[in-house]
Structure 1
Amino acid sequence: MTPHRWQKSSYCQEGDACVHIAAAPDAIHFTDRPEPPHPTLTLTPTAFRTFLRALKGQHLTPR
């Protein structure tokens, strides 16, 4: 398995309260720390778009 290439959120300030994201063609991975072991949330690209719309408070009806 290829390791993920984690990127720290641009909204992250100094400290440990950051989100790290790794994108793959078929999945988007999230974690709060890129060093293993770490819990990871994995979403499909479609689920990721829905997740972002929900965070932004936008309408969730599929287009």
Structure 2
Amino acid sequence: MATRDWQKSSYSSTGNACLYVSAPGNATIRLRESDEPETILTTTPTALDALIRSAKAGLLDHLGTA
């Protein structure tokens, strides 16, 4: 995938922990991290929206605790 297809998240800092997003089609969204650009997660707009809403609502906070 060409570099121009990826957009850096506006929430990413200037360091190495950057999130990149690519939406080549209406039904697919691709995500990758700058530390491991060869690892690409694929999802749908609906599933990504549900994940973001859950995170914003605090429903996933328990996952970060050991």
TM over 0.5: yes
Secondary structure, in 3 states, of the residue corresponding to 1:40?
strand
Aligned counterpart, 2:13: 13
The CA deviation at 1:58 is 6.8
Please give the TM-score of this superposition, normalised by the length of structure 2. Answer: 0.69
Q: Which has the higher helix share?
A: 2
Query: What stretches of structure 1 move > 2 A for 4+ residues in a row?
Result: none
Where does the alignment leave 5 or more consecutive residues of structure 1 unmatched?
none
Give identity over the alignment, percent: 38
- Amino acid in structure 2 at the alignment position of 1:32: E
Secondary structure, in 3 states, of the residue corresponding to 2:17?
coil
Give the aligned CA root-mean-square deviation in angstroms. 2.3
Please give the TM-score of this superposition, normalised by the length of structure 1. Answer: 0.71
How many residues align structurally?
55
